[in-house]
Structure 1
Amino acid sequence: MLLSDIIYEYEEQIIYHLRKLIQIRSVWDEAVPGRPNQPYGEGVDEALQYMLRLGEELGFQVKNIDGYAGHVEYGSGEELIAVLVHLDTVHEGDGWTYPPFGAVIDHGKIFGRGASDDKGAAVVALFALKALQKIGVAPSKRVRIIFGTHEESGMQDMDYYFAREQKPDLAFTPDAGYPIFNRELGNINVAISWQREQGVKIEMEEAEHNAAQSENAEQNAALTLVSAAPVTRTADNGVPDIWTAGDEVSVSRTADNEVPVTRTGDNEVAVTRTGDNEVAVTRTGADGVRLLTMEGGKPFSFIPERCEAVFALSSEHTERAMRVLSNEHNIELELDTDKNLLRVTASNLPLEQTAGTLAAAPAASPTNAIVNMISWLHSAKIDQELALFYTYLHERIGKETNGNSLGIRCEDDVSGPLQVYLRTIRADTRHIEALVNIRYPVTKDGDEIMRTITDTLPFPAIKVDERRHLKPVYVPADHPLIQKLGTAYRKVTGEQAELLQMGAGTYSRKLPDRCVAFGPGLPGAAHTNVHAADEYIEIASLMKHATICAQGIYELICEP
């Protein structure tokens, strides 16, 4: 039986309810105090309530699992088939041409956050079930449309749901594309971090004995270091900051707005007055340069396009710094001589010469902006205290994407080689952390990969923390799930269902041996701006997906 004609009878309703659902801002938020059934905020809960009410109005049994997830159910029997969709979305962000929650229709497209990921698929799945009900399909299996609410933020919703509800025997999630994604690479987010041992802030403290002995009590307030570093008072009006052996500075307050620095060791410090009772002290190091901030990459961007850093310079090293450091591709330098700051921008695209800046020769093709920044740091050899960290990243990852220098290179015949990417980096004066994404073959052991990284760390000061680990998904080609979904795809499109793989994750991760990604994106279709401004779904493509989705459910619940 083909369901194409039947599902199109619901096109107007599908469009109407999808627009209503898009208009609900269902971005993850903190739990609402006093409302235990809203674990991910009011907006997410509103979207869940909307779909469960709609399911009930269409004549199905519905159940809300404490606001974490819910389902609509049809049919009877012990065996359970499921379609997993999600109602939460990523943050809307900036740069929209259309209102992000306006659900505007323009040139056959519905624009709005969640239109293609994954609200369109959620509405379609419900009406696909309605189409089966309308033609009198009475399956001997139960089928559920499971509405998740935390897919974009970690998928803990499904952990909660499946701890309380039956796991389906077979399932698919329309949260990727067609034909069938039967392989999802293992996916680990690893935080690599380092922290300076010394403090960088000192506060003014009235020294009563100084005041009693001084001709001008106001000029002789002592400075006390707020730090884990040892502090030794060396004079009535001075306290040295002991960074390392032989690298000491004395800081004394001599007037209301003056804080002189006496250099007593080989290293330099920069001092900035931050308020009436405190000053900030920054050690710039023997090279006269110290990192203040760094930021690169975005949570949902695969290859970082930009990485920015700000460094403090000692005045006598400014000229040397610019001369030595301006020699790398995809690096732009801007010097603030008034504040003795060096701003560095690394790009993944070729840079052009601009007024007031130094830009190196362009690279031949887009690269990873964080890798470019680390490469520049390593070649420039600045902020030597930080060198352990950036040398590790440069030598163990760098431009490699196969994990060879980390000792984790591997591959299999099913899903190919392991892949490693630097995704984000954040730093301040005390702490720096890079997030590395590792995607490993479906037949390999992710825990063993992590043990290898941890056991081969060259420096105790560098820390490694596993932030997220999505185990791989692999459903073989001869599995009944693949066979039946392949049949549905072939009946509707006339084409064979190619088996694909992805590095990202879907709800299949929660059912790795019985669930695959199936739709909604059509092969060769334009990118719908998922996770970007002006996200949309084309109505014609949505309805084509609806026919395949309905046929897929039918094959799973009705065919032997």
Structure 2
Amino acid sequence: MDVRKEVESHLDEILMHLKTLVSYNSVMGEAEEGYPFGRVPADCLNKALEICNSYGFKTVNLDNYVGYAEMGEGEGLIGILGHLDVVPAGEGWKTDPFNMEIIDGIAYGRGTTDDKGAVVASMIAMKIVKDLNIPLTKRIRLIMGINEENGSRCLAHYVEKEGHIDMGFTPDGCFPGVHGEKGMIRANFKSKNTKIINIQGGVASNVVCNKCIIQVMKNSFSQKVLEDYFNDHNITYAFNVIGDVVEIEARGVAAHASTPKLGVNAISHLLVGLKHAGFQDDFTDFYNEKIGTTIDGSLMGAACKDEYGTLTFNVGVISMIDDVIEGTIDIRFPVTLTVKQIVEKMTPNLETTGGFVEILSTHEPLYFPIDSPLVTKLLKAYQEVTGDIESKPITMGGGTYAKGINNCIAFGCELLGVDNHIHDANEFVSIDALVMQTEIYVNAIIKLLEN
């Protein structure tokens, strides 16, 4: 059987199912009895299970946390892990984000790539493998969660109920595979020792802050020096005087916390600029001494790298409530290092008179040697379909389901060098890419079925 032609024969189904799933605004909602992540994500999950059931797969819903569709027999379990929840649509769309529209061979809509498109490609790949009459000596299970974007409690619930898999992948990264995901440390900083009247900035801990507003006494710094600093660093700014108080707005460039070099942090430049302009303040001194505008954690003693990458450090959100300043820190550290090593490097620098840093949560890295059986099987599946033998599996700063279950790596769905606007307006997937990834997943399942 020509697998590509078989995939193409299912293209109308793929697009129909994807349009259906995209129509659900499956952002995490308010929890209620029987719906831990809200009703709409659960409805989207049940629709996906209904589609899978129509193909003859065994389907199970685990308490509206997560569901799965399964085929095959045997003790061995191959897992494919995708998610049906999405991030908020936000502004700037040229189409309705929840009414998938195809323009010039490109399907636009929230979740078309992350991760509903990959889920549909995976379920069709399973159907094609079934139709090929390949002996299914292992169970193949498509696991679909609805809380990946907000902590992956869905996957934790799955592992608690069903255990781990023997081998598998999550189509929530890029081709030709992700053999390492950086470790993560989430922290915050706090301070009461400040002359700042108010400060607010950022939308999420895992995003480089692109807007920050601060209020200070108007005679507490040199406006000319601060303006020069902003101009020298390409920071858009505005001043608004309210009596004896001046409100300063600084704007930077947003980026994902795992790639802070692609952004410009408005919080950091505002506080560093104020210090440069003569603002005398314990918290501002603390920020400049321990964070500054660095994105490698060097001022906190955390800077490090391995052969796969460097540590990244991002301040995402800052606020002032009841005279207390609090902000978030997102650290992604190299795949061959450990949480203990990074924390030990940081410990001497966690507190000064102007503020302190508190570690909230940690996650060890995920790392598979590039020549491990799982990585090599999936790489071969990609190469046989695409003919691309130059591209190699990568490591990345982002985190996927692979960190929450054994023997799994991210494999697809994005192609290297293609920006599908994930988490941004006008998210899309090309029809050609959908066909290609489905064919790759057919080949990947066949490879994982081999002993």
Aligned-partner Cα distance in 1 for 2:345–2:306 = 18
8 Å contact kept, 1:25–1:43: yes
Change in 2 beyond 3 A, CA 1:423/1:486: same
Q: What's the counterpart of residue 328 of structure 1?
A: 229
Instruction: Letter of the 1:378 partner, please give it.
Output: K
Equivalent of 1:343, from 225, 235, 247? 247
Equivalent of 1:380, from 253, 277, 290? 277
Superposed CA deviations along residues 343-378 of structure 1, whole A, max 9, x for unmatched, are: 2122337xxxxxxxxxxxxxxx96322221121122
Instruction: Letter of the 1:39 partner, please give it.
Output: P
Q: What's the counterpart of residue 146 of structure 1?
A: 143
Mapping 1:135-214, distance limit 5 Å: 135-195=132-192
* TM-score, structure 2 normalization: 0.91
Q: Percent identity?
A: 31
Change in 2 beyond 3 A, CA 1:542/1:389: same
Instruction: Letter of the 1:553 partner, please give it.
Output: I
The alignment of Structure 1 onto Structure 2 pairs a total of residues equal to: 438
Structure 1 residue 540 corresponds to structure 2 residue 424: no
Q: What's the counterpart of residue 389 of structure 1?
A: 283
Displacement after TM superposition at 1:449 (Å): 2.1
Structure 1 residue 408 corresponds to structure 2 residue 302: yes
Q: What's the counterpart of residue 423 of structure 2?
A: 531
Q: What's the counterpart of residue 256 of structure 2?
A: none
Change in 2 beyond 3 A, CA 1:439/1:158: same
Aligned-partner Cα distance in 2 for 1:540–1:366 = 31
Mapping 1:272-311, distance limit 5 Å: 290-299=195-204, 302-311=207-216
* TM-score, structure 1 normalization: 0.74
- Structure having the larger proportion of residues in helix: 2
Secondary structure, counterpart of 1:115 in structure 2: coil
Superposed CA deviations along residues 398-456 of structure 1, whole A, max 9, x for unmatched, are: 2333323212222223x233222222222246121221221111121213423543443
Aligned-partner Cα distance in 1 for 2:166–2:110 = 32
Structure 1 residue 3 corresponds to structure 2 residue 3: yes
Aligned-partner Cα distance in 1 for 2:133–2:345 = 56
Aligned-partner Cα distance in 1 for 2:2–2:150 = 37
Q: What's the counterpart of residue 95 of structure 1?
A: 92
Change in 2 beyond 3 A, CA 1:325/1:411: closer
Displacement after TM superposition at 1:133 (Å): 1.0
Secondary structure, counterpart of 2:298 in structure 1: coil
8 Å contact kept, 1:293–1:429: no
Change in 2 beyond 3 A, CA 1:402/1:325: closer
Structure 1 residue 117 corresponds to structure 2 residue 114: yes
Compute the RMSD of aligned alpha carbons.
Answer: 2.3
Aligned-partner Cα distance in 1 for 2:148–2:437 = 21
Change in 2 beyond 3 A, CA 1:405/1:311: closer
Secondary structure, counterpart of 1:375 in structure 2: helix
8 Å contact kept, 2:351–2:357: no
Superposed CA deviations along residues 98-134 of structure 1, whole A, max 9, x for unmatched, are: 1121112222222211111100001111111011111
Q: What's the counterpart of residue 446 of structure 2?
A: 554
Superposed CA deviations along residues 499-524 of structure 1, whole A, max 9, x for unmatched, are: 1011011111113x511111111223
Change in 2 beyond 3 A, CA 1:119/1:308: same
Q: What's the counterpart of residue 414 of structure 2?
A: 521
Q: What's the counterpart of residue 108 of structure 1?
A: 105
Displacement after TM superposition at 1:31 (Å): 1.1
Instruction: Letter of the 2:283 partner, please give it.
Output: F
Aligned-partner Cα distance in 1 for 2:384–2:182 = 29
Change in 2 beyond 3 A, CA 1:408/1:80: same
Mapping 1:396-475, distance limit 5 Å: 396-413=290-307, 415-428=308-321, 430-459=323-352, 462-475=355-368
Equivalent of 2:124, from 124, 127, 135? 127
Secondary structure, counterpart of 1:190 in structure 2: strand
Change in 2 beyond 3 A, CA 1:150/1:421: same
Aligned-partner Cα distance in 2 for 1:101–1:544 = 24
Secondary structure, counterpart of 1:533 in structure 2: coil
Displacement after TM superposition at 1:471 (Å): 2.1
Secondary structure, counterpart of 1:164 in structure 2: helix
8 Å contact kept, 2:300–2:350: no
Displacement after TM superposition at 1:482 (Å): 1.0
Unpaired runs of 5+ in structure 1? 197-284, 350-364
8 Å contact kept, 1:292–1:428: no
Structure 1 residue 47 corresponds to structure 2 residue 44: yes
8 Å contact kept, 2:182–2:366: yes
Secondary structure, counterpart of 1:328 in structure 2: helix
Change in 2 beyond 3 A, CA 1:301/1:535: farther
8 Å contact kept, 2:179–2:393: yes
Secondary structure, counterpart of 2:350 in structure 1: coil
Instruction: Letter of the 1:133 partner, please give it.
Output: K
Displacement after TM superposition at 1:300 (Å): 7.2
Change in 2 beyond 3 A, CA 1:55/1:335: closer
Instruction: Letter of the 1:436 partner, please give it.
Output: I
Displacement after TM superposition at 1:155 (Å): 0.9
Aligned-partner Cα distance in 2 for 1:166–1:321 = 61
Instruction: Letter of the 1:369 partner, please give it.
Output: A
8 Å contact kept, 1:333–1:342: no
Secondary structure, counterpart of 1:137 in structure 2: coil
Q: What's the counterpart of residue 394 of structure 2?
A: 500
Displacement after TM superposition at 1:158 (Å): 0.8
Instruction: Letter of the 2:213 partner, please give it.
Output: E
Change in 2 beyond 3 A, CA 1:411/1:323: closer
8 Å contact kept, 2:205–2:328: no
Structure with the greater alpha carbon radius of gyration: 1
Equivalent of 2:265, from 368, 376, 381? 368
Instruction: Letter of the 1:368 partner, please give it.
Output: N
